[in-house]
């Protein structure tokens, strides 16, 4: 019994220690600067512009990510088809490789004559544009959303869907009134993570959208640009805003996780 307590205790102390270091690191972002400088930066045109840009593109991308992620995740979870593992691996790839590489791939693809003629024909000019920001964010966040939603669908008993079918619901009806409501908390968590990833996307946005000031400038780009001008106040302010957005996103997930046992398995 004594040994078990020691074990338990050291685990908890370790978790607290690591998070304490991180807390100090993040805290220094908030406590080192002069508040008057931060207030001035918050009112600056550049921060207001980039915050607006981040929120607008972030929300738009998140909606697109969720619209795409739900069917993808459902097909991964419910159906087996030849080559599914390969498809899944390809889709999850952006989680593992650097965003800069993703940005380069997207630039090469969307900038190629074949793809650009096609996308421009449907009104999507993605290189160096605001639409490009959304495209970059979409591919950065999509794999995270798909992973979470797939796990949630996995945890839902297919029997429930079968019962619904046997009671006369169509496939679509079952999906909308049984599967989706059961996955509700997971969908919320995926939305929060997707939004945080979209707003936090940097490398892919920089390369595909170019990172032009006051044009394709999101908060992460503002942070980078101002760090590279030596304009630390603005950089730190952008950093703070990003931390706040991330905190709200992650906190929302943690709250939902504690409410729903279904997605406890996702982490």
Partner 1 sequence: MVRIFFIILFLTIGTVISYLMITNAGDRKKRLELHVLSGAGLIRPMEELLSSFEKEHQVKTVFHFGGSGELMGQLAMKQPSDIFIPGANKYIKDARKRGWISEGTVRDVVKHVPVIAVAYDNPKQIKTLEDLVRPGLAIALGDPDGCAIGHLADSILKKNELYDRIQPNIKVRTPTVNQLLLYVALSKVDAAIIWEDMASWSKSKDKLGVIRIPDDQNIVKTISIAVTAHSANRESAKVLCDFIGSHRGRHIWLKWGFEPCTD
- Which residues of the shown chain bind partner 1 in the complex (CB under 8 A)? 107-108, 111, 127-128, 206-207, 210-213, 215-216, 224-225, 227-232
Residues in the chain: 267
For 83, list phi and psi in degrees, rounded to 5: 80, 10
State the first-to-last Cα distance of the chain, in angstroms, to the nearest integer: 29
- Is 240 within 8 Å of 38 (Cβ atoms)? yes
Q: Who's near 143: CB < 8 A, 6+ residues apart? A: 91, 92, 93, 94, 95
CB atoms within 10 A of CB 154: 16
CB of 145 to partner 1, least distance (A): 29
Query: In the complex with partner 1, which residue's Cβ is closer, 108 or 176?
Result: 108
Closest C-alpha to 138, from 49, 53, 201: 201
Q: Quote the least distance from Cβ 80 to partner 1, whole Å.
A: 32
Residue 233: CB minimum distance to partner 1, A: 11
Smallest separation, CB 193 to partner 1 (Å): 27
Nearer to partner 1, 12 or 108 (CB): 108
- Of residues 53 and 64, the one with the C-beta less far from partner 1: 53
How many Cβ atoms are within 10 Å of 262's Cβ, its own excluded? Answer: 21
CB closer to partner 1 out of 120 and 170: 120
Nearer to partner 1, 232 or 252 (CB): 232
User: How far apart, in whole angstroms, are the C-alpha atoms of residue 255 and residue 233?
Assistant: 33
Contact (Cβ atoms closer than 8 angstroms) between residue 130 and residue 54: no
By the 8 A CB rule, do 139 and 106 touch? yes
Least separation in angstroms between CB 71 and partner 1: 32
What minimum distance in Å lies between the beta carbon of 111 and partner 1?
5
| Closer to partner 1 by Cβ: residue 68 or 232 | 232
């Amino acid at each position: 019994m004594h040994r078990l307590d020691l074990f338990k205790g050291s685990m908890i102390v370790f978790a607290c220690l690591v998070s304490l270091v991180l807390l100090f690191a993040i805290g220094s972002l908030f406590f080192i600067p002069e508040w008057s400088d931060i207030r001035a930066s918050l009112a600056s045109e550049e921060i207001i512009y980039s915050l607006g840009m981040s929120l607008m593109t972030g929300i738009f991308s998140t909606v697109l990510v969720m619209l795409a992620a739900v069917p993808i995740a459902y097909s991964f979870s419910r159906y087996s088809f030849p080559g599914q593992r390969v498809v899944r691996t390809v889709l999850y790839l952006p989680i593992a490789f650097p965003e800069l590489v993703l940005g380069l791939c997207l630039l090469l693809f969307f900038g190629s004559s074949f793809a650009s003629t096609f996308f421009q024909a449907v009104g999507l000019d993605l290189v160096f544009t605001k639409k490009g920001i959304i495209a970059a964010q979409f591919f950065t966040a999509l794999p995270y959303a798909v992973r979470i939603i797939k796990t949630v669908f996995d945890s839902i008993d297919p029997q429930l869907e079968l019962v619904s079918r046997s009671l006369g619901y169509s496939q679509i009806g079952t999906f909308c009134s049984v599967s989706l409501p059961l996955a509700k908390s997971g969908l919320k968590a995926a939305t929060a993570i997707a939004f945080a990833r979209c707003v936090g996307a940097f490398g892919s946005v920089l390369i595909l959208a170019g990172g032009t000031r006051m044009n394709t400038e999101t908060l992460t780009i503002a942070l980078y640009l101002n760090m590279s001008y030596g304009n630390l106040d603005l950089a730190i302010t952008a950093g703070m805003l990003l931390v706040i957005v991330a905190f709200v996103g992650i906190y929302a997930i943690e709250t939902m996780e504690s409410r729903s046992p279904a997605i406890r398995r996702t982490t």
